[in-house]
A and B are shown apart, each in its own frame.
Chain A
Amino acid sequence: MNFRGFLQLVSSQGTILRRNTGFWVTSIMTAVLSMAVFGWLFNPDTQPFDLALVDEDRSQASRTLVEAFEGIDSVETREGSRDGELASLQDGDLGAVVIVPEGFAADLGRGSVTLPVYYDNSNPVRIGYVTTTVNAVVDSYNDQVVGQSSAVTVQQRSVSTKNVRFIDFLTPGMVGMTIMWVNLGVGFLLVTWREQGILRRLGVTPLRPGSLIASQAVSFSIVSLTQVTVVLLMGHFVFGVDIHGSFLWLAITVFLGVMAMLSIGYVVASLLKTVTSVNAVINLVAFPMMFLGGSYFPLDPPPALKPVIEAIPLTHLNDALREIVNHGGGLGDLWLSWLILAAWIVGGFGLSMRLFRWQ
C-alpha cells in the first residue's frame, strides 16, 4: 500500500470515528462535566486556609494584632519568620502570610500604618476568602483597639505560587481519562467490524493487518489529540490551569498513552468474539483503571495495592501528564513513565499481532 492509500485509510477511519458520536462525545463530556463540577460547584480548595503570621515588631501593639488573627476559629494559624513563611507560601502550603513590619507600633502612634499581606494568586476563590477574613480582623482591630477606622490599612501582595489546586490536578487526569476511554474503544470498533463482516471483507483484499493497525493508530491519535486540546483549552481559559511544561513532551506522552490503550483494546478484541462481551470487558478494565490510575483523586494506597497501581498504564500516563502540566517536568521526570507505557505497547501489540484474525 502506498502512502496516499494509507492516508485515505486514515481519513476514512477518522470519518467513521467522527460520525460514531458515541465514541468521543461520552468521554469528552465526562471530562468537561467533571472539570465543571470540581472547578465550580464543588471546590475542595475553598476549605479554610492556613495563615502564617510574622511579627517583626515584637511590640505590645503587634502582639495584640497577631492574637486577633489567632482568634479566628475558621483559620489555622501559625507564627514564623518572613523568609520561611514566604517560601512556604510559594510551595503552596499556605493561603496567606501576614507580616507585621518593624516599626509597626511607632507608625501606628503617628497615625497610620500599612500591613502587607502576601497571598497565593493562583486560586481566585481562595483570594476572596483570604481578603474578607484579613479585612474583617483589621477592621475590628482599628475600631476596637485603635479607635480610628483607617489606622491600619491592608496592602495586598500577590505571590505567584506553584500551588497545585485540585482543578490543576484534575485537568491532566481528565486528559488521561479521555485518552483511555477513546482508545480502548478500538476493541469495540474492531469486534463490530468483525460482526458486520467488514474484517472478512478486508481480509480478501491485499490489505496487511499491520497497515490497518498503523492507520488506526494514526486516526485514533488524531481524535485523541483533538480531545486533549479541548480539555486543556477549557482548563486554561475557564479554570486558569497553566501548562508549565513542553508541548513536545506533552504530545509524545499523549501518543504513548494512545498506543498503550489501543494495544489493550486490540488484545481484548482478539480474545473475545461478540460486541457485548467486548463491551463488558472494556468497562471492566476501564472503570477500575480510571480510579486506580488516579484520574480523579490523589491516591494513598495500602501497600498491598501498590504493585497493581504501579502496573496500570493509566497511572503512568496520568503521572507523566501531571509532571508536564503542573510541574513543567523534563525528560528526567518522564522517562520512567514513558518506559512503562512503551512496555505495554510492545507487549500489547506483540500479543494482538499474534492473535489477529480477519474473522
Chain B
Amino acid sequence: MVLTKETPGSAAEAETQAVGNVVLAVDALTKRYGSLVAVDGISFQVRRGETFGILGPNGAGKTTTLEMIEGLRRPDGGRITLLDLDAVRRRRAVQHRIGVQLQSQALWPELTVEETLKTFRALFRRKLPVETMLERFSLGDKRRSLVRDLSGGQKQRLSVATAMVNDPEVVFLDEPTTGLDPQARRSFWDLIHDMSGEGKTVIVTTHYMEEAEALCERVAIMDRGRIMAMDSPRELVRGLDFDNTVECTFAGSVERELLLALPAVHDVKKENGAHFLFTTNVSATLAGLMGLTDGGGERVQSLQVRTATLEDVFISLTGRRLRD
C-alpha cells in the first residue's frame, strides 16, 4: 500500500509550496553527547496538515531530534520554530498545542482507562471530553479497566488517546508501531490516517520502510545524525539510478568486481554476507548471474528480486540496511 496525497513535481517545488504554511521549521539543529554528535546540524520544514516521516535505523538520531522539538532536550545549536513559536524558549506554550506519543507507552499501570484520560486532561488548557476520547479510540467498554490489565493494542490506543486529549495541532509519534503485531500495526496506520484526515500535522519516526511508504507524504532519511535525503517516498525511489534490486548470497566468496561487471548492474553493496545488485534490467542481470555460476564460479545459495523500495534508497545512500 502506497499512499501519497500529493506528489510534488520536484523537491524544489515542494520547498516553495511550504513557504507561508510551515508548521515546523528546523534549522541547523545540533545535539552532542560528549564527543558523539547525535544530531548533526539538520534542517527541514513540515507543512500544515502534512504527514512527515523520519526514517532511519536505531541510533540515527530520530528520537533525539523529536525530543528537542518536543521540549524534552535542549539543543546544542540551531533553531526550532513550531507553530510560529520558538520551541525552546516558549516550550510550555508550544506543549499546550502539540500531542506526543513517546517510544515507551508511558502509562500508570494502577489507573483505569478513564482515570488516565482525566489525569492527562488536567495538564492542558484546551481539552476534549473524556467521552469523546473513549469513543474515538474504542475504549468505552474498557473505561473502568486498569491499564495493567489491557492488551497491547488497547494500551497503544490509550497511549495515543492521551496524546490527543488536548486536540493538538501537531502530533509527534516516536516509533509508534515498534513491537506491535502486523494486524495491530495496520489498525494503527488507520488511526494515523484519521488524524491526518482531521487536518492534523503528523510527524512520525520509524525504522520500518513499509510504514514510511504507507503513511508519509514526505520522508526524511536519517543516518548518523544527518538527513541523507528528503522527498516523497515515490520520488525517493524514482530518484534511484536503478529499478530493481537482486539480493543474493553465494556458497563461497565472490569478487565484487565480478558482480559489478554483470550486465545492467549499476552498483553492488555487501552487507552481512548478502550482495545487493542494483540493476536497471533484471533479466539481463539474472542471465549474467546464472552465466557466472555456470562458468564454474561460486554457487548461488539464495536469490531474491524486488522492485526498489525505500530500503534500497537507504542501502544505496549508506551501504547498510535499515534493520540489523
Contact = CB atoms under 8 A, between A and B. Distances in A.
Contacts of A359: 72
Nearest to B72: A203
A1 B123 contact: yes
Nearest to B100: A204
A359 B103 CA distance: 13
B123 A206 contact: yes
B95 interface: yes
A19 to B, nearest CB: 4
Given A12-B115, A204-B95, A358-B72, A198 B122 contact: no
Contacts of A198: 106-108
B106 A201 contact: yes
A206 B96 contact: yes
Interface residues of A, number: 25
A121 to B, nearest CB: 48
B71 A204 contact: yes
Most buried by B among A1, A9, A203: A203
A132 interface: no
Nearest to B96: A206
Contacts, number: 75
B93 to A, nearest CB: 8
A321 to B, nearest CB: 31
Interface residues on B, range: 20 to 34
B137 interface: no
Contacts of A1: 122-123
A205 B125 CA distance: 11
Contacts of B103: 197
Interface string B205-227: 00000000000000000000000
Contacts of A358: 72
Interface in A195-233: 196-198, 200-208
A133 interface: no
B8 to A, nearest CB: 31
Contacts of B125: 206
Contacts of A201: 100, 102, 106-107, 162
27 contacts: A5-B121, A5-B122, A12-B118, A15-B115, A19-B110, A19-B146, A196-B104, A196-B109, A197-B103, A197-B104, A197-B106, A198-B108, A201-B100, A201-B106, A203-B71, A204-B72, A204-B95, A204-B102, A205-B100, A205-B120, A205-B123, A205-B124, A206-B125, A207-B123, A208-B92, A358-B72, A359-B72
Q: Which 6 A-B pairs have the closest CB atoms?
A: A201-B106, A197-B104, A8-B122, A197-B106, A5-B122, A19-B110
Given A12-B122, A206-B96, 9 more contacts: A12-B111, A15-B111, A198-B108, A204-B70, A204-B71, A204-B100, A206-B93, A206-B124, A207-B123
